[in-house]
Structure 1
């Protein structure tokens, strides 16, 4: 599938500052950046960094004076989502996991899996098949957590969400990650552009490591799973934030757009119990 994505962010800068943007789609074996363009309405110094942990392309921006800045990014992306038979999505023994996967078993700032061991065991511990267990986690979140941003903040954690049972995509993803880690299933946070998301915004899902694959799950069920354009993966929203600012600047506005460049887009069956999907 081919998509065109764009993001525009505006800031008021009151003194020399540094801004790190994480809005560029990540380049993988299953996702290709065909063309892209990053612009600013004023002269600033920019650098691109590839994170050594997770999958992230940072745009680091040095701002030297007080001014109002608008950053505009647009790109054309081709994705090749991989369909994997559920029979192959089995538990991987810890001793056989790649070293890079092991940290995703641990608690993190917004995903306190160490506080959810009993909850996870009581709700999902009886399910023998690991893929079925993850599907049950995703569906429990979808069925029990109300999608509503009125009662959530940037500080809301997975433990808050399972307690209050309300949140947005970020909170749904954090809870999915935390419960899976509590079940000794490696899980990581996944930020993306999302086709058919209304209103348009950045979106969050989660991935689980099964059978040697990172399999994507969306507990909100708001968009087609094959309509995602991966931006970043990480431990949680703390290390995959769209923007991190250092200095004296204030966020003013944001506009995100996603459209398909294929006229024959068909959503895959994300509820299937016989197959899973990976962006590699």
Structure 2
């Protein structure tokens, strides 16, 4: 499916500094970039970087008070495809059989303290033998038990905080899902992207669990169709998949984000309890 994605962010510059933005659509085997454009107003030379951990296309540029106001605009047309697989006969993968690239996603991380949530996760979901059903059950539990509440959390909020406060936004829902999965010895990683039908429009966070040799997408918020996402980045958590990292006295002022269909024929896909069909972007 083809999508048009758009981002525009504005900053005020009060000192010399550096901006590292993570707003580009990611090119993968299942996601191709048809056209894209990055504009900096006023013009500043920018370098594209690829993070060593996770999947990211970063753009880095320096700023100073000679250009006190910076506007960054990114737009792209992306052709996105996915697979829907039947996980009804999925078996747990032993850690010894996991690829080396997947092993880091079993570990606790800054926002996903799976070691602190092991007992809770095991008591609530450990009895489920099918790994896909296990992840879908914990995802639905988060959706029912955690209130989606804008402004209820901040950049320091972790999965442990979220399960305690039972409130959060999409990144908090994702972090809790990741922490539960890792506590149950299921590799899981953070996913951020553009989201079709998200209201209000914004970047969206969810997570992927490694099942039967595939990264399978889950969204505990239930706010968007799973096949309406354009991947920007994946990582251990939001700390290495942040949309922006700012160094220096630079103030964020404004942001616009959109994700719209570029062709007809879209049929939204959501998970249903009792079904074992899982969606993956590769």
| Same fold by TM-score greater than 0.5 | yes
- Quote the Cα distance in structure 1 between the aligned partners of 2:207 and 2:268: 18
- Quote the Cα distance in structure 1 between the aligned partners of 2:240 and 2:61: 17
Contact (CA 8 Å) 2:90, 2:130: kept in 1 or not? no
Deviation at 1:44, TM superposition (A): 1.2
In structure 1, the partner of 2:280 is 278
Please give the secondary structure, in 1, of the residue aligned with 2:12: strand
Please give the secondary structure, in 1, of the residue aligned with 2:7: strand
Deviation at 1:43, TM superposition (A): 2.3
In structure 1, the partner of 2:229 is 228
Alignment of 1:32-181 (within 5 A): 32-66=32-66, 67-87=68-88, 89-181=90-182
Contact (CA 8 Å) 1:9, 1:70: kept in 2 or not? yes
- Quote the Cα distance in structure 2 between the aligned partners of 1:46 and 1:39: 10
Contact (CA 8 Å) 1:21, 1:59: kept in 2 or not? yes
- Quote the Cα distance in structure 2 between the aligned partners of 1:79 and 1:271: 23
Please give the secondary structure, in 1, of the residue aligned with 2:200: coil
Aligned residues: 280
- Quote the Cα distance in structure 2 between the aligned partners of 1:234 and 1:227: 20
- Quote the Cα distance in structure 2 between the aligned partners of 1:89 and 1:23: 34
Contact (CA 8 Å) 2:190, 2:238: kept in 1 or not? yes
| TM-score, scaled to structure 2 | 0.97
In structure 2, the partner of 1:26 is 26
- Quote the Cα distance in structure 1 between the aligned partners of 2:46 and 2:243: 16
In structure 1, the partner of 2:193 is 192
Deviation at 1:65, TM superposition (A): 3.2
Gaps of 5+ in 2: none
Please give the secondary structure, in 2, of the residue aligned with 1:178: helix
Deviation at 1:52, TM superposition (A): 1.9
The CA deviation string for residues 61-101 of structure 1, in whole angstroms up to 9 with x for no partner, is: 11143410000000000111111111364322111111010
Deviation at 1:271, TM superposition (A): 2.3
The CA deviation string for residues 11-49 of structure 1, in whole angstroms up to 9 with x for no partner, is: 001121100000001110010111100001112121001
Deviation at 1:249, TM superposition (A): 0.5
| TM-score, scaled to structure 1 | 0.98
Contact (CA 8 Å) 2:14, 2:64: kept in 1 or not? no
- Quote the Cα distance in structure 1 between the aligned partners of 2:77 and 2:4: 5
Does residue 217 of structure 2 align to residue 216 of structure 1?
Answer: yes
- Quote the Cα distance in structure 2 between the aligned partners of 1:89 and 1:44: 50
